[in-house]
Structure 1
């Protein structure tokens, strides 16, 4: 198990259309699409729709920039953030939560997340996730680290319902499905993305 800091937000990139809508001069930063209940983000006052543009003095150019920077900070450390909200920059302060991240396979249903070595990580559905998505089964994408996965249009906050036609109810199902993949076999996901389901194919 690896201890790292956790803000407790779901994020995505700011598109040009979103930047125009929010009156941002250029699309940059990490757009918050989810705030976990009781998290460091909620305590700081971060809201869905905020754009995180700086974290502890470092510029956040894209959503992919944020997780590695947060991961370098120890839990319970006080950090400063800048968010773009309603046309203005707002400065916030919070203390990071701790995340137990699985580096190898999933051993227990009590664990909260799994990093499968396939370019993205998933977590179990929280009650807030279930309310937001209308799904009570599956796993939620919590981090994306591979550009090919990004190009396939998998997003942080998507709920994975099937992996290669195998129903996914929890982290254990997901881990088993990933372990069953053959070398070079494409990853075909059925996900709940926004209000609709869609298939995403990730070449490996």
Structure 2
């Protein structure tokens, strides 16, 4: 039997912190007076009793086809007349598990969820709890079982919204709270279905906020030490006011059991997704249409910035009905619609939470100065559909013909460069719209090789100045050296025109 909560492995260490004390003569007795420590909640019994009926167990079933002929396991060799001959004939024969198409089998899994609307019968859980399920059943604390249907689900945030018939059972709903107000150290309570045991209450604190565990594009989890185990997925994480501030979704554990590191999707991110799934059956996320990179220390130094905050725009992307022409490659986005962008991973989440079609102000740093530009957001899902269709249409496209390269006219920063003429375009299959200077060779162990610059990439600009010839590159690098710069910021284009920024050492 499978259980819902995702798990992984984490290696960690323990750091010891020694605190020293110093005596201060006559005032020492005052400093050593015992201080009353703040206590946790004496009991959460009343809170648990009020909330537990709103938390449900989510049981799913799926028909899985048995192994086919290609999965056939060879029959062991046995002496003639062996007493196990008949057994192995049954097991490995055409009707057994080792051969033929095999009969379908029933796979079940268990997770958790909670009611958010008693009148309409709306239940929230994790997408991975109900993914690929043929049947979904919601089990209540009093033993009542109801069939559920999926209103909508979202793989990016791992959320799903279910509907049950409210006329068949008296439902208790819980309310969402503001996870943005939750602080590290606040008490929280988790209720769920660990290991299929049924309604179970655990207590702990918020251990950390804004955790990125690389499970999706919008990671910003609440970390808690309230025990979360397999089967707790989709269950609520409550504050001490009985409000849901998170949806339990993942654990880090070498054994699959709780080691005090669990993660919940914060409601400040989940509520808008849940509302969209309820209303439309799908998500409708904002789309800015930019490719971004982190602002590293090298990039900040190359751009004359004092901090590494913001998201570096590596290029614009068409599609999804976005109007973003006022943004330029090389801009560093530091605020979006009044919200600060502290890092590159903040921007996709902030944009996705914004309404489609909204006109927003974006504050960027462009050539060392702050500027405010306006954009009209498109819809992410429209762009993804368009991109998927284009990728399908491009399959089987013709390949270019390999031709000898002309000698590179300039050798800079470990790269041999050549003008981007028709011969170079053919040799490296570079799209007609790409302009700049082509890299024909990269010297091993050079500064360029460290940044994984490859032959066929095209240098579009250096230090936010366009280059059209190998000589332009050489002059620009010399100019940056005279300015005292240690790194050169290169905008590179792939053969299809996709842009990225790299900083290359000039020392």
TM-score, reference length from structure 1: 0.50
Shift of 1:37: 3.8
Larger Rg: 2
Contact 1:31 1:49 in 2 (8 A): yes
**Alignment of 1:46 onto 2:317:** no
How far apart, in 2, do the equivalents of 1:47 and 1:17 lie? 20
**Alignment of 1:75 onto 2:356:** yes
Contact 1:2 1:102 in 2 (8 A): no
**Alignment of 1:11 onto 2:292:** yes
Contact 1:100 1:112 in 2 (8 A): no
Shift of 1:100: 1.1
Q: Which has the higher contact order (CA 8 A, sep 6+)?
A: 1
**Alignment of 1:28 onto 2:303:** no
Residues 124 and 24 (structure 1 numbering): CA distance in 2 closer, same or farther, change over 3 Å? farther
Shift of 1:29: 0.4
Residues 72 and 48 (structure 1 numbering): CA distance in 2 closer, same or farther, change over 3 Å? same
How far apart, in 2, do the equivalents of 1:57 and 1:95 lie? 15
Shift of 1:40: 2.3
Shift of 1:195: 6.7
Shift of 1:4: 0.9
How far apart, in 2, do the equivalents of 1:92 and 1:102 lie? 22
How far apart, in 1, do the equivalents of 2:363 and 2:315 lie? 17
Shift of 1:36: 1.9
Residues 124 and 50 (structure 1 numbering): CA distance in 2 closer, same or farther, change over 3 Å? farther
Partner residue in 1 for 2:206: none
Partner residue in 2 for 1:161: none
Does the residue aligned with 2:291 lie in a helix, a strand or coil? strand
How far apart, in 2, do the equivalents of 1:78 and 1:54 lie? 14
How far apart, in 2, do the equivalents of 1:102 and 1:32 lie? 18
Shift of 1:5: 0.7
Show structure 1 runs of 5+ residues with no match: 104-109, 114-122, 133-193, 197-204
Contact 1:2 1:101 in 2 (8 A): no
Shift of 1:94: 1.6
How far apart, in 1, do the equivalents of 2:332 and 2:311 lie? 5
**Alignment of 1:112 onto 2:380:** no
How far apart, in 2, do the equivalents of 1:2 and 1:83 lie? 28
Show structure 2 runs of 5+ residues with no match: 1-281, 395-429, 435-491, 495-507
TM-score, reference length from structure 2: 0.21
Counterpart of 2:339 (choices 58, 64, 67) is 58
How far apart, in 1, do the equivalents of 2:387 and 2:493 lie? 24
Residues 111 and 85 (structure 1 numbering): CA distance in 2 closer, same or farther, change over 3 Å? closer
CA-based RMSD of the aligned residues comes to 3.8
Shift of 1:102: 10
Does the residue aligned with 2:374 lie in a helix, a strand or coil? strand
Which structure shows the bigger proportion of residues in strand conformation?
Answer: 1
Aligned residue pairs, count: 123
Shift of 1:112: 3.1
Partner residue in 1 for 2:204: none
Contact 1:13 1:62 in 2 (8 A): yes
Does the residue aligned with 2:324 lie in a helix, a strand or coil? helix
Shift of 1:19: 0.5
Does the residue aligned with 1:67 lie in a helix, a strand or coil? helix
